[in-house]
Amino acid sequence: MPRGSQERRAAIVRLATTSGPASVEELSERFGVTASTIRRDLAQLESAGHLARTYGGAMPLDPHQESSLRQRSGEAHAAKHAIAAWAARQVRPGETVLLDSGTTTGALAHALRGARDLTVATTGLTVLQELVNADGVHVECLGGTLRHVSQGFVGALTEAALSRMTFDRVFLGADGVTAEQGICEADLQQTRLKELMAQRAEHVYLLVHAAKLGRRPFHAWAQLPERWTLVTDAEAVPAAIAPFRTRGVDVVVAEA
């Protein structure tokens, strides 16, 4: 096997492991070879036990496991608080806002604890814990089926409660996001709910730190509306931000 092929195949395994499932077309463009060459690479790698073939692409043998909220609470602490601080400044007195479950939206709830004349609806236990003693904030819990790993509510009851309200702003989280496909999450209940949440708000914000840009660890996706704002942190490199701006997304880089 030529040395170039060995290096390319090793790079394919690394890419599938770090970024999630990859298509033949994406790999062909990335490595500058034909689709048939990539298919031969994937067949060789599968035969050697390095990855698993999927329809039209490949994925790692050990697929990404969803991190628990406890695990995520220690990640990118400064970035999440910078993002949350910026997001809190967008909220106006008298507004009704919707906060997704997650650690970054939990940081936003913390930043809103001193607010007055504000209504916050949420699907997340972290947000509820932050606002439990915030006397100036009226809190609505959109309860339903609890996902223990993310400490958020999903399902028919959550969606029914959501249908009774509209919002000035919604602040969403994500396991990953791409400019082409939108929000990536571990299951379809989450992505369906996020799409519904975005439809109920006048202004849509996605709060994600830099490591989640371009990341696609799972197979469930939520499409975002035509106009939305991506809020990330100063660790985001221009190449990671550019695809979003090219598609007309408003991008905010929050400084610590």
Instruction: Provide the pLDDT confidence category of residue 18 given band limits of 50, 70 and 90.
Output: low
For the cut 70, the answer to whether the pLDDT of residue 78 exceeds it is: yes
Chain position carrying tokens 């999630």 = 20
Closest CA to 244 of 218, 222, 224: 224
What pLDDT, on the 0 to 100 scale, is given for residue 55? 57
pLDDT in tens, 126-144: 999 999 999 999 999 999 9
Given a cut of 70, whether residue 42 has pLDDT beyond it is yes
Residue 58, pLDDT > 90, answer no
Using pLDDT thresholds of 50, 70 and 90, give the confidence band for residue 91: very high
pLDDT, tens only, 153-167: 999 999 999 999 999
Mean of the per-residue pLDDT values of the chain: 89
Tokens of 63: 């697929």
Instruction: Please give the pLDDT value at position 1.
Output: 41
Which residue do the tokens 């060459």 mark?
37
Q: Quote the pLDDT of residue 2.
A: 45
> Which is it for the CA torsion 82, 84, 86, 89, positive or negative?
negative
For 177, the enclosing helix (H) or strand (E) is strand 176-178
Q: Which has more confidence, 70 or 28?
A: 28
Q: Residue 70: pLDDT band by 50, 70, 90 thresholds?
A: low
The whole-angstrom separation of Cα 231 and Cα 80 is 10
Residues of the chain above pLDDT 90, percent: 67
What local confidence, expressed as pLDDT, does residue 119 receive? 98
